[in-house]
């Protein structure tokens, strides 16, 4: 009886997503927020489903308030979905989030760093939270600094410019060498030069077998970095595919045109109102 029970436990704990080549699997994901009145239901995500393969750079595009950040929030365990299932690295988020934590790195939209610490101390602190040894942390910091230059690493983050804070935000997400990286608008607010340097860095990550989920407002960013993109609007997935496939399917010259064709109704509605 006990043996059977252990077998059941082992099977239950190693529960995998339906496709073993998938790094992320999202099935009929819904997230509703309720207003003060019972009938006020805001559908942030309204039944989206998609899969991301291992080593893929997957872009989430959509207008403001479309549900991109909510999707990343659910995938990184910060938002509990109303309905649906999510598998990250083969683990069911509802049951095995603790195991998922060891696989992921999250670069949030807002810069979340301790301002009274130096850049290095911030990265070290999060390295320790990822249960890394001091030597592992130092080695990783040196590697990352070679790839993403942050000259002011030993200065307090309080005096950092917006671009430097963004870089630090990204470096913290990478300290644990995550297999799956969530980047929520990593280059927003950066000047074109700094943005270009981050793009180059992200491009170098493509060859490191990391699965990257990238939300962005910059269509050019998605077009050059992403293997596939999903366009979300009003909490629903309106298109998914490689940039080329989407351009062909929607008879467009570039991804921006596809984006405007699919999400333009919001602009038109905005003008009518």
Q: Which residues bind other proteins (CB under 8 A)?
A: 76-78, 98, 101-102, 104, 106, 108, 110, 112-114, 116-117, 121, 125-126, 129-131, 156, 172, 176
Distance between CA atoms of residues 255 and 273, nearest Å: 27
The token duo for 259 is 């984006």
**Which one, 112 or 250, has the nearer CB to other proteins?**
112
Distance between CA atoms of residues 56 and 219, nearest Å: 18
Residue 137 beta carbon to other proteins: minimum distance, rounded to whole angstroms: 13
The token duo for 29 is 């994901």
**Which one, 166 or 228, has the nearer CB to other proteins?**
166
DSSP line for 158-169: GG--HHHHHHHH
Residue 15 beta carbon to other proteins: minimum distance, rounded to whole angstroms: 20
**Which one, 98 or 135, has the nearer CB to other proteins?**
98
**Which one, 168 or 230, has the nearer CB to other proteins?**
168
Residue 171 beta carbon to other proteins: minimum distance, rounded to whole angstroms: 13
Residue 239 beta carbon to other proteins: minimum distance, rounded to whole angstroms: 29
Beta strands in the chain (DSSP E): 22-34, 41-53, 57-61, 83-88, 91-92, 104-107, 180-184, 211-215, 228-233, 236-241
């Amino acid at each position: 009886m006990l043996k059977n029970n252990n077998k059941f436990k082992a099977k239950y704990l190693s529960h995998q997503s339906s496709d073993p080549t998938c790094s992320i699997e999202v099935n009929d994901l819904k997230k509703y927020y309720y207003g003060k009145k019972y009938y006020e239901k805001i559908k942030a995500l309204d039944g989206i489903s998609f899969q991301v393969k291992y080593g893929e750079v997957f872009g989430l595009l959509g207008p403001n308030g479309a549900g991109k950040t909510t999707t990343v929030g659910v995938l990184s365990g910060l938002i509990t979905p109303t309905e649906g299932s999510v598998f990250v690295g083969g683990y069911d988020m509802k049951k095995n989030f603790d195991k998922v934590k060891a696989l992921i790195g999250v670069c949030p939209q807002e810069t979340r760093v301790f301002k009274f610490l130096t850049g290095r101390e911030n990265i070290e602190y999060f390295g320790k939270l990822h249960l890394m040894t001091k030597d592992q942390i130092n080695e990783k910091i040196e590697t990352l600094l070679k790839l993403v230059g942050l000259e002011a690493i030993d200065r307090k983050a309080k005096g950092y410019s917006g671009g430097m804070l963004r870089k630090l935000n990204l470096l913290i997400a990478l300290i644990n060498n995550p297999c799956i990286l969530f980047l929520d608008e990593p280059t927003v607010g950066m000047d074109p030069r700094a943005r270009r340097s981050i793009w180059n860095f992200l491009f170098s990550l493509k060859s490191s077998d990391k699965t990257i989920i990238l939300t962005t407002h910059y269509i050019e960013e998605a077009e050059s970095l992403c293997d596939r993109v999903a366009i979300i609007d009003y909490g629903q997935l309106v298109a998914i595919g490689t940039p080329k496939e989407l351009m062909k399917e929607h008879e467009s010259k570039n991804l921006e045109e596809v984006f405007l064709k699919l999400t333009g109704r919001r602009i038109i509605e905005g003008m009518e109102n």
